[in-house]
Each structure stands twice: as structure tokens, then as C-alpha cells.
Structure 1
Amino acid sequence: MPAPTIDPKTIFTPEEWAKLRQRNDWIGLGLVAHAWVVIGLAVALFAWAPNPLTWLIAVMVVGARQLGLAILMHEAAHGGLSTNQKLNDFVGHFLCGAPVGASLHRYRPYHLSHHRNTQQSDDPDLGLAAHFPISKKSYQRKLIRDLTGQTFFKQTLRPLWGFLRAPGQASPEARSAALTFLGAQAAIFVIFAAAGQAFAFFAIWMVAQASWYPAVTRLRNIGEHACATPDPSDPWRLARTTYANPLERLLIAPYWVHFHAEHHLWMYIPCYRLEATHSLLKQKGLTEKMEVKQGYRQILELATAKQAL
């Protein structure tokens, strides 16, 4: 059963809707450049003053920007990086998805199915949120697995090792995923090495990808849909918006990903116009219909409210 929708023309004036839908290549492609510049600055900070604190900051910032690259690949899945479809897909796949082991071409049909069927029985992402709330101890175990690389090993390294041991037996999907990951990591290593930061590729880029990136990805998934939908027939509450402070935007929720309710209401609004969409909805008194939380601490309190047995 398709997810319920709301006609934006019943909410916004034609002028408001035209502005919200407007796409700008300079902004879309500029966000990709921004992600890579922030990664470079984080590595440069550690190179300038190598110590445990700058290493930790670099790992957290780079891990969050790796999530940012995944978010921008998601934006490309909706055609939001460029009005030129070929350029949109090239950047979304090679500069956003591949560096974090993802494929835009495999992700797009899966993700659009999630939008068509959000919180319905055939939503492919339903399993990411259906088991919440959980206990605090359960979440702590998941967080430890994320931060210690166990999630990365299970989701990325184990399938990769299986492919390397028997490439001829791998499915086309497994082969494509392995080659995407290996090719992208090799290219990034060459760039790091050319900048004199070969060590940082392993100590920062790979450590971030194996620790902070899966941890904040899990938190992102929780924030978007977990415990957000008491009624799957209510389009206003199919997803959640979470207010994020500047530190949370830096380390947890880059590129307006926390305005997820607005994205699910009208998925072709570019990510850089979601905050303006929220402001307009607030002016019209409509955010009261939505699921809105005050920061990720509140999200975790909601998602870990189950008492341990």
C-alpha cells in the first residue's frame, strides 16, 4: 500500500512552492566540495598538531563528513545535486557514494521504494526502526559494536573478504560492491599519499569509516523514523524532524538531514531548502502536526525508553 501524501499546492502559494522546488547547481555541487574541504581541513589539523585530541577531532569530523557524503549521494538519488542528470549521477556515484562503499545506481531504486511505501508493510527500511524502543543497555552494545569496528567488519570487510577469496563465486551485486569499495579506497589513498598524508589515510579516514561513521549512521536512522509513526496513515508523521545545534550539525547531522519529515512530505525539495520549508510550515502553524524533537539527546531518550528485562 503506497504511503499517504499531501499535495503541496494545498499548503504553499505557487510562489512559495516554486522557490522551495528550485534547484541550484552551484549549491548542490558546492555541498560536495564542502564535504571534501572539511575532510581535508580535519586531516590538516592533525598534521599540523598531531596529538590524541586532534586525532579524535579529525576522526569524528571525517566520520560525520563520510555520513555527509552518503547524504549527498541520497540527494543525488533525488536529482538534487545538479540539474544535469549525467553530472548529478556522476558526482553522486563517484564523489559521494563510492568513497563510503555505496553505489548510487543500486541505492536509488531501493530508496525510492522506501519513499513510495514509507512505514507501510512493504517499506524496505521498516526494519531499521520497527524494533524501537530498545533498552539503554541494548543501545550501548550497538554503539560499542559501531565504535570498535565490529559493524564495519560485519557489513563491509567480511563480504569483501568473501569476494577476494572466491571472486568467481560472488554475485554480481557483491562483485560490484567490492570493486566499488576497493577502487574508491585506492583512489583516496593515492590522494592522501600525494598530499604527504598516507598515514592519515589509515589513522583517520579508515578509522573514521570503521567507527564514527557507522555510529552516527545508526543515530541518523534512529532519528529519522524510530518511534515516530503512531499512525502510518498520517503523512505528517511518517518521519521526524530533529532540531540540531551547530555541534550536532558538525558531528552528527550534516547537510540538513535532520529535517527528515519535510523531506518525506515532498521528497524533491533540495536538501538546502528543507530548513526554509520547515520555517514556512511553522509560520502556517503546521509543524504542530509533525513529529519534532529538540536535539539528539531527546531522540536517544525516546529510542531507549524500553526497560531491560
Structure 2
Amino acid sequence: MTSETQAASDPRPILDDLRSIRLPEDVLERSTLWIALYALKPFLFLALAVAAGQFDALWLSVPLACLALLAAQRHFQTLVHDASHYFYSKSAARNDRLANWLAAGWIGMDVAAYRKVHLKHHAHNGSKDDPEHVSLATVRQEGGLAWMILRYALGMESLRLVAKYFLKADAGKARSAIETQAKSATFKRFFALTHIFGCQLALLALLLAADCWWEYPLWLYLAVSWNPLLSRLRFLAEHPGEDDATVTTLATALENSYFAPQSFNFHCEHHGWPMIPPYRLSRMHRYLRDEARFYDQRGELISGSYIGKLIELAQEPGAYQPTVRQEA
């Protein structure tokens, strides 16, 4: 049984409510055009970063380059997530190959490694077995929201993230293998990550050719600090309680670009049906809202702003009332 199948069988109130609704047939349709457009977006932001680097005034070029580079990383990050649900192709091998070279490698990630962790999040959303879950209560226990933001901004969380998505995923296998098998596995693992070195070399070559080499250190800094920080803040807004609640956020295009680009903000719909392509999630949202009338009874699962939701949760810890979760 796959992780996504297990998620469907878990007795979780909100997911049960969602999955009792019959899917419109068109939301499962795949579109090569939309896949290509989504895959192209982060490279457009890289082009904007290169253009920003051509300004002579550093006070203008540096902040503009930072914004463009961060937007590119947020789009790459979202594509890695989507690829963990086979966004590029239904063929696992083809999907992962395309995703690694077109998205994951540019931000130092690997789709297969990410998938091992992320599907556990779908299977155990909001429970103690959810490897990605964090709540405001947890953040307060660890020093508060400001301290969390500072840790990420200083890159202090980078080693933990590397261990989470690369080292821990292979730890059990390494412990059970004999020495020669472990060495072979290490070599294969290194070879499997060549997309990271290839993409980083391509990016560095591009920035050198455009005479804005100084953007590459910025890229590395953002990749270990603000990019994962925005993912963490997004998670707090979209998973506000200790249960399986998942919030859809109808924010502005600008806010979505940095928190949840490429329709990732329709997160309630995504958790209800992970197999729906991201470019169909807005269609699914309209169906739930206007035809199934799902949000008439579940209004707490819609937010108008990521920043607004975070402020609301931080100021009123008891504002969100979680549903009763029944453990399997």
C-alpha cells in the first residue's frame, strides 16, 4: 500500500469530508502546455535576476536581484514538491530525471529523497508521525517566532534540513548493509546527485557570463536561509492546528509568489486529492466553493493572506479550534 493510499484510509475528519465529494472528471486532465509553463517560470525569474545585476547602482541591483533569486527558488521548491507527486510525467523514472535537472538540482535537492519525507506528511498530516509538521505551539516552546526566523535567516537550520532529506532517509539502509554494499551504495548515491553539481555549475557559468558573479553567493545564502524559512512560515499558515486541518489561502499574486507559487496556495484541495495536477487546483477550488458548497461549513479552511494568518495565529493562540482527531 502506498503512502498516498494510506492517507486516503486514515480516519481523519476533514479529509473524510473532502473525499466524500465526487471529483469532476476534468480536474485530473494533464496538460503538456501547463507543465511546460510551470517548469519555465523559475528560469524567467533567473533572467530577471541577471537583468537586475546589470544596473550600476548596487543599492538598486542587489535588492532587486535578491527578490528575483528568491522568487526563482520558491518556484523551484514548489516544482520539487509537485514532482514528488509525479508532475512532469506518470513514469517515475522520467519524472524524477526531468524534475532533478529542471528544478531540484538548482536548489540542491533530490526529488526521490524529498518524496520519502513528503509522502509521510500526507499519510500522517498533523499527527506525531508527520515529519514535516510544526505548529505555533511548538515554535513558542522553542523560543518563539522571532527566534525561529532568526535561526533560518542565519542559516542555522541548513544542516538539520540536509540531514532530514538526505542522511536520515538512507540511515536504515546503511546500518543494515555490509561494508562493501555500503561503499557501493555511497558511490551510487553520489552519482545520483550529479544533477546538483551540474545545475550549480550551469548557474555559476550563467552568472559569470553575465558579469554578475556576485549573485551566486546570494543564491547559496538564500537557498539555506530565506527559501526554507518561507516554506516553514507557509506551513504554519496552512497547517495551523495539531490535527489534519489544511488551509487554502487566497492571497495576492505577489504574496503567493514568495509563499506558495504555482497554485500551491490551494492547499486544502491538494491534501484532499494529491493526484490533481497543480494547474487544476483552482478549478477544484471553485468546484468545492460554488457547486459542492464545501466551504459553507468549513469556512475556517480559507484564509485571505499568509501574513494575515500568521499574525492572527501569533496574536490569538486559541483562535483556531482543531477538530477531534481519531488515531488509527
TM-score of the pair, normalised by structure 2: 0.74
1: CA distance, partners of 2:252 / 2:144: 26
Shift of 1:117: 2.1
The alignment status of 1:255 with 2:262, answered yes or no, reads: yes
The answer on whether the counterparts of 2:136 and 2:236 sit within 8 Å (CA) in structure 1 is no
In 1: Cα distance, 2:121 partner to 2:159 partner:
26
Indicate if the aligned counterparts of 2:50 and 2:207 stay in contact, CA closer than 8 A. Answer: no
Q: In structure 2, what is the equivalent of residue 225 of structure 1?
A: 239
Q: State the Cα RMSD in Å.
A: 3.5
**Alpha-carbon distance in 1 for matches of 2:157, 2:92:** 34
Identical-pair percentage: 24
Tell me the equivalent position of 2:34.
Answer: 27
Q: How does 1:196-275 map to 2 (within 5 A)?
A: 196-202=211-217, 204-227=218-241, 229=242, 232=243, 238-275=245-282
Determine which of 55, 63, 69 is the counterpart of 2:70.
63
Alignment gaps of 5+ in structure 2: 1-5, 167-181, 318-328
2:250 aligned with 1:280: no
Q: Which runs of 5+ in 1 are unaligned?
A: 161-167
Separation in structure 1 between the aligned mates of residue 99 and residue 216 of structure 2, nearest angstrom: 22
In structure 1, distance between residues paired with 2:160 and 2:120: 25
How far, CA to CA, are the matches of 2:75 and 2:294 in structure 1? Answer: 28
Q: Is 1:298 the counterpart of 2:308 in the alignment?
A: yes
Indicate if the aligned counterparts of 1:134 and 1:304 stay in contact, CA closer than 8 A. no
Secondary structure of the structure 2 residue equivalent to 1:298: helix
- Conserved? CA contact 2:78–2:260, under 8 Å: no
- TM-score by length of structure 1 reads 0.78
1:170-211 Cα offsets, whole Å, 9 max, x none, are x949x6498665454233212322333323222x32232243
Q: Deviations over 1:80-123 (max 9, x none)?
A: 22355443221212221122121111122322222122223422
Question: Given residue 187 of structure 1, which amino acid in structure 2 is its aligned partner?
Answer: A
Write out per-residue CA displacement over residues 214-265 of structure 1, whole angstroms, 9 at most, x where no aligned residue. Answer: 22122122122132x5xx4xxxx53111121122023322111111111000
Describe the shift of the 1:276–1:49 C-alpha distance in structure 2 as closer, same or farther (beyond 3 A).
farther
Q: Give the Cα separation in 2 of the matches to 1:303 and 1:61.
A: 29
Aligned pair count?
Answer: 287
Who is 2:135 aligned against? 129
- Equivalent residue in structure 2 for 1:152, among 155, 158, 161: 158
